[in-house]
């Protein structure tokens, strides 16, 4: 979990969902898009990429797009990024996902190329799928044994919304 250097133990579940919320404001001369993310923080490169992609898709001036984080200490440290570049869906994760995660995402979107890049933006350990029992990876992971399934479900939902 982000921001708890002295934390002991693994994540044990999701008591409350994390959100990304957007507020669009417009008058006759300007447009502003405010984006609030339930994350500890995002870096300048992520913010620039997000502004650029949103500007390209909507025509909103990147200077009018504000990205802010709630700085929650009850969410992940590091972050996964999902981008759609034409037909390509690009997924980055801050750690080592099991191959089954990428294969499951690719299987969910058979008409689109899905590219998963691991060790991106940070390293948060292994992301097990929960069906291997006690292995080196599940014992060393700071996450609950089913974190991979939770990631896949969240990523599938985001990708469906992104390509709709």
Rounded to an integer, the average pLDDT of 67-80 is 71
What pLDDT score was predicted for residue 80?
A: 64
For residue 65, the cross-strand partners are 33
1 pLDDT above the threshold of 80: no
More confident residue, 78 or 70: 70
Rounded to an integer, the average pLDDT of 36-48 is 77
Rounded to an integer, the average pLDDT of 17-31 is 86
What pLDDT score was predicted for residue 164?
A: 78
Q: Is the dihedral of CA 44, 85, 21, 4 positive or negative?
A: negative
What pLDDT score was predicted for residue 24?
A: 93
Q: Where are the domains of the chain?
A: 17-75, 77-164
Q: Across the chain, what does the average pLDDT equal?
A: 81
What pLDDT score was predicted for residue 122?
A: 67
| Residues 107-143 pLDDT 10s | 999 999 888 877 766 677 888 887 777 888 888 888 8
106-123 as b/e: b if 16+ CB within 10 A: beeeeeeebebeeebbee
């Amino acid at each position: 979990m982000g921001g708890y250097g002295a934390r002991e133990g693994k994540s044990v579940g999701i008591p409350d969902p994390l959100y990304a919320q957007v507020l669009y404001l417009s008058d006759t001369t300007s447009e502003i898009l405010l984006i609030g993310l339930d994350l500890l923080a995002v870096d300048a490169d992520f913010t620039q990429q997000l502004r650029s992609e949103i500007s390209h898709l909507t025509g909103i001036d990147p200077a009018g797009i504000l990205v802010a984080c709630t700085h929650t200490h009850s969410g992940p440290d590091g972050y996964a990024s999902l981008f759609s570049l034409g037909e390509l869906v690009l997924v980055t994760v801050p750690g080592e996902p099991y191959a089954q995660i990428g294969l499951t995402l690719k299987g969910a979107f058979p008409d689109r190329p899905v590219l998963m890049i691991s060790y991106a933006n940070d390293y948060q350990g292994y992301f097990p799928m929960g069906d291997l029992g006690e292995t080196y990876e599940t014992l060393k992971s700071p996450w609950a044994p089913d974190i991979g399934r939770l990631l896949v479900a969240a990523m599938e939902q985001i990708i469906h919304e992104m390509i709709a």
